[in-house]
Amino acid sequence: MPDPSARAAGDWLDPALVARALGRPELTDDPELMAACEAVAYWVSTVRADLDVEGVYLPTPDVERGAVIVTCDVYRRPATYGGSGAMLGDLGSLGLVPGVDPQAERLLGIGRFRRGGRLG
């Protein structure tokens, strides 16, 4: 059975926000950027499943900003850790790997900054 958080996982992370954060607004329609957004949005929706309300993922502003930071990192370093998919697999199992900075962890409420125990 598919993970229920996947229903709307990619609908909330806007590639235009990530492109602006990268300083490259022309990348909004770049397939690699869209793939990074999808991957990070899905991952965040699993580690912060508490923000899923009846099948609609409603990230708080801090979680959305943390996702933008992580997406920028995933987009910039696709070959790191065996590719972005491998990196996200590591993130899902550990909540923290090199490349996820403390500010992104804090915004997402993961790793050292996990809220109320295990989330997701």
Which of 22-26, 95-99, 111-115 tops mean pLDDT? 22-26
Q: What is the pLDDT of residue 79?
A: 54
Exposure on the CB side of residue 54, measured as CA atoms within 13 A = 0
CB 42 within 8 A of CB 57: no
Higher pLDDT, 111 or 45: 45
> Any idea what the Cα angle at residue 99 is, between residues 85 and 119, rounded to 5°?
70
Q: What is the pLDDT of residue 101?
A: 73
Q: What is the pLDDT of residue 105?
A: 75
CA distance 91 to 48: 12
Question: Is residue 10 over pLDDT 50?
Answer: yes
Per the DSSP assignment, residues forming a β-bridge with 57 are 52
CA distance 30 to 83: 17
pLDDT in tens, 12-69: 999 999 999 999 999 999 999 999 999 999 989 988 999 999 988 999 999 999 999 9
Q: What is the pLDDT of residue 52?
A: 92
Tell whether the torsion through CA atoms of 5, 10, 11 and 12 is positive or negative: positive
Residue 118: pLDDT band by 50, 70, 90 thresholds?
very low
Tell whether the torsion through CA atoms of 12, 16, 17 and 19 is positive or negative: positive
CB 47 within 8 A of CB 108: yes
